[in-house]
Amino acid sequence: MSGLGKSFGGLRALDGVALSVSPGQVYGVLGPNGAGKTTLLRILLGLVRPDSGTVRVLGHAPGDRRALRDIGALIEAPAFVPGLSGRVNLRVLARARGLPDSEVDRVLGLVDLADRAGDRFGGYSLGMRQRLGVAAAMLGDPRLLILDEPTNGLDPEGVVWMRQLVRDLGSSGRTVLFSSHMLGEVEQVCDRVVVLNRGTVVAEDSMDRIRTPDVSLHLHATPDETVGRVLAAAAGTGEPVHEEPGRWLTRADPDEVPGIVRALVEAGADVHEVRAERQSLEDAFFRLTETQEERS
Ligand SMILES: Nc1ncnc2c1ncn2[C@@H]1O[C@H](COP(=O)(O)OP(=O)(O)OP(=O)(O)O)[C@@H](O)[C@H]1O
């Protein structure tokens, strides 16, 4: 998709969004509340029409029957009939699509609901409802799964289970596009991630590169005058921060760290402590969304 825009009244929910998802990738859509994640996923399914831009899903226009056949989706709370059992709810969906009842049993097994499949949907916990929603999305073994906040309502055990399921789907060649504001979750299962903020893409890259390879380099080294001079001249570092006498903080490419330490020693500095901390996705997320706030 490219140049995607969507407004609701005066509110710009998406603005010039471009992204491309390759088959077999697990792709995370990340962003704070109201960033436009759900709107983006709804557009892919043909549930919302964009005001501008071009979108192709599995080679077709969004909402095209040929594409929908190969897409499974869970968008917001799944709608099932409360008085019917989980199994019967799925059978209704499966039969409407010409799928055999054995397919229902297969997906119930995948989401660990086989034991409770005969119970009324109305009596299901939030987590069970969510599992049934995922099972419905997997009916017919679609090539592309679009899951909007799939861990909503799941307990910690359910979150771990969902993470594993998404991973398994990815490693079996399915393409999974899922949104989350649980950053750790995205970090652990995604190949690539797009970070949205206020309707625009603030980053779109591989998980490793989003995190940026840079480390926060904490140094305890003296004397200050020598350390300051060496850090300012070192390649691959950010602006050094002099935290207190003898203590420095800078950003550095991890490959440059040995060279920085060598340069300090060669310049006659005493190096007492070197600590390089990798940035988590959480750091990257806040850095990206904060930068955006500052710009606007
Ligand atoms: N049908 C609609 N009518 C009016 N405004 C809408 C509609 N759908 C979304 N919006 C607005 O568009 C913006 C983006 O919403 P969207 O649901 O896509 O964000 P999100 O990133 O999924 O957020 P959340 O994490 O809170 O679900 C929000 O400000 C929202 O209020």
Which atom of ligand 1 is least distant from the CA of 14? 14
Q: Which domain holds residue 264?
A: 215-278
Give the residue, out of 11, 41, 151, 152, with the most ligand 1 atoms within 8 A of its beta carbon, to mutate for a pocket test: 11
Which atom of ligand 1 is least distant from the CA of 31? 21
Among protein residues, the one with the nearest Cα to ligand 1's atom 17 is: 38
Mapped to the 3 state alphabet, what secondary structure does the chain carry?
A: CEEEEEEECCEEEEEEECCCCCCCCEEEEECCCCCCHHHHHHHHCCCCCCCEEECCECCECCCCHHHHCCEEEECCCCCCCCCCEHHHHHHHHHHHCCCCHHHHHHHHHHCCCHHHCCCEHHHCCHHHHHHHHHHHHHCCCCCEEEEECCCCCCCHHHHHHHHHHHHHHHHCCCEEEEEECCHHHHHHHCCEEEEEECCEEEEEEEHHHHCCCCEEEEEEEECHHHHHHHHHHCCCECCCEEEECCEEEEEECHHHHHHHHHHHHHCCCEEEEEEEEECCHHHHHHHHHHHHHHHC
Do 11 and 132 lie in a common domain? Answer: yes
Average pLDDT (78-86) is 92
Among protein residues, the one with the nearest Cα to ligand 1's atom 11 is: 13
Half-sphere exposure of 14 (CA within 13 A, CB side): 26
Is residue 294 in a domain?
Answer: no
Q: Outline where DSSP puts E strands in 108-157.
A: 144-148
Tell me if 10 CB under 6 Å of ligand 1.
no
Do 202 and 219 lie in a common domain? Answer: no
- 260 CA distance to ligand 1 middle (Å): 47
Residue 32: predicted pLDDT:
83
Do 255 and 108 lie in a common domain? Answer: no
- 145 CA distance to ligand 1 middle (Å): 21
Number of independent structural domains in the chain = 2
Give the model confidence (pLDDT) of 61-76 as tens digits. 998 988 888 999 999 7
Is residue 290 in a domain?
Answer: no
Among protein residues, the one with the nearest Cα to ligand 1's atom 8 is: 39
Give the residue, out of 4, 6, 7, 8, with the most ligand 1 atoms within 8 A of its beta carbon, to mutate for a pocket test: 8
Tell me if 6 CB under 6 Å of ligand 1.
no
Tell me if 13 CB under 6 Å of ligand 1.
yes
Which atom of ligand 1 is least distant from the CA of 199? 14
Among protein residues, the one with the nearest Cα to ligand 1's atom 6 is: 8
Q: What is the CATH number of the domain that holds 7?
A: 3.40.50.300
3-state secondary structure of 273: strand
What percentage of the chain exceeds 90 in pLDDT?
A: 55
Give the model confidence (pLDDT) of 99-110 as tens digits. 999 999 999 999
Do 144 and 127 lie in a common domain? Answer: yes
Tell me if 8 CB under 6 Å of ligand 1.
yes
Residue 295: predicted pLDDT:
42
User: Which of 210, 226, 261 is the C-terminal boundary of a domain?
Assistant: 210
Do 120 and 237 lie in a common domain? Answer: no
Q: What is the CATH number of the domain that holds 250?
A: 3.30.70.100
In this structure, the dihedral spanned by the alpha carbons of residues 259, 262, 264 and 268, taken in order and rounded to 10 degrees, is -160
What percentage of the chain exceeds 70 in pLDDT?
A: 94
In angstroms, the CA 51 to CA 22 distance is 25
- 198 CA distance to ligand 1 middle (Å): 10
Give the model confidence (pLDDT) of 168-199 as tens digits. 999 999 999 999 877 777 777 888 989 898 89
Do 255 and 169 lie in a common domain? Answer: no
CA distances (Å), origin 18, targets 31, 52, 156: 15, 11, 33
- 62 CA distance to ligand 1 middle (Å): 19
In angstroms, the CA 238 to CA 206 distance is 22
Query: pTM of this prediction?
Result: 0.78
Residue 225: predicted pLDDT:
95
Two tokens, residue 185: 């979750």
